[in-house]
Structure 1
């Protein structure tokens, strides 16, 4: 896997925008109008910047899959972080941002109070899905978390992805209700 650089931002945002275009969780927050896809892009641009600063962004070797990692214990409130949040507010609107932050707060309550490797997003270009690229990237992320001696946490509402995550050693440790079930999963380091 490759560490994404600033010149890879569009590639990462493109992959995740396409991957999450029909995502129920995203679309329940994003206003459904002609600007919907642009709003999804802006969300991933926001997270690219945040994860580049307080985590990591990775691409598969062929640049058809990517992942955004956060280290929540490293995130600090700063002028930059407030500015980024305000920019997101203008793109999404108060209602969407409020709902997004409310969900993030509920998720945060089930996260541990120690350092962990937070897999915020992983996506594969839809033209290259079901070829093992996502699983390979996930395995490389797990190896990275092992190197750092950190457990990995993630959330998914997609039951078909649970099988993939279980193959990589993840277990469901909690379930949340956002009008649909969200499975909280973790993988301890060995």
Structure 2
């Protein structure tokens, strides 16, 4: 595993688009990304946005084989800057679309309600290239990241709309603390530490 730099933006966004583009069911990604003929481009915008925010206020790790990545945020370090405002505006216009804003705001309120106010680590997104899915790449990356942060005292909070992913995170020691169903699909909130 290696820590990403800004030069890895294209690779990370390719991994994440490859992982999430095939998903057609209702989930947080498809709630955010406008579903039209530009879906792939819009998803690219989302993944680049998440990457940049993670680099600003967290860390990004890439598997040794460049097939998986995980983006971590340290919410207690986040702040509003001209750069973050520009990223948010670009995200709204190039990815979400005006008609989806209220759904995204509802999703943000749900996250705000279920994430702690005190310091914590938030894995924002974990993805593995489609051709490597099911081959243990994501699991190995999760183990390496867990080992890197094993002496960490901060809670690690993650959410997922996938029951299968919730079960995978439980194998790594996460416990489901809440299941919300206000968005038309379930969102599991899990905690470690």
TM-score band w.r.t. shorter chain:
over 0.9
Q: Paired residues, what number?
A: 188
Contact 1:145 1:152 in 2 (8 A): no
Q: In structure 1, what is the Cα distance between the partners aligned to 2:154 and 2:146?
A: 9
In the alignment, which residue of structure 2 is the partner of 1:146? 150
**1:126 alignment partner, one of 120, 123, 130:** 130
- What secondary structure does 2:113 align onto? helix
Deviation at 1:162? 2.1
Deviation at 1:143? 2.2
- What secondary structure does 1:164 align onto? helix
Q: In structure 1, what is the Cα distance between the partners aligned to 2:137 and 2:31?
A: 28
Deviation at 1:47? 0.9
Q: In structure 2, what is the Cα distance between the partners aligned to 1:150 and 1:137?
A: 20
- What secondary structure does 2:127 align onto? strand
**1:172 alignment partner, one of 132, 153, 176:** 176
Q: In structure 2, what is the Cα distance between the partners aligned to 1:43 and 1:130?
A: 24
**TM-score, with length taken from structure 2:** 0.92
In the alignment, which residue of structure 2 is the partner of 1:187? 192
> Which ranges of structure 1 fall in alignment gaps of 5 or more residues?
none
Equivalence map 1:92-111=2 (5 Å)? 92=95, 93-111=97-115
Select between 60-69 and 16-25 the one with higher mean Cα deviation. 16-25
Contact 2:33 2:46 in 1 (8 A): no
Equivalence map 1:1-190=2 (5 Å)? 1-21=1-21, 22=23, 24-25=26-27, 26-92=29-95, 93-177=97-181, 178-188=183-193
Q: In structure 1, what is the Cα distance between the partners aligned to 2:68 and 2:19?
A: 10
Deviation at 1:30? 2.0
Q: In structure 2, what is the Cα distance between the partners aligned to 1:32 and 1:139?
A: 34
- What secondary structure does 1:147 align onto? coil
Contact 2:31 2:103 in 1 (8 A): no
Deviation at 1:151? 1.6
**TM-score, with length taken from structure 1:** 0.93
Q: In structure 1, what is the Cα distance between the partners aligned to 2:192 and 2:90?
A: 33
- What secondary structure does 2:151 align onto? helix
Select between 3-12 and 143-152 the one with higher mean Cα deviation. 143-152
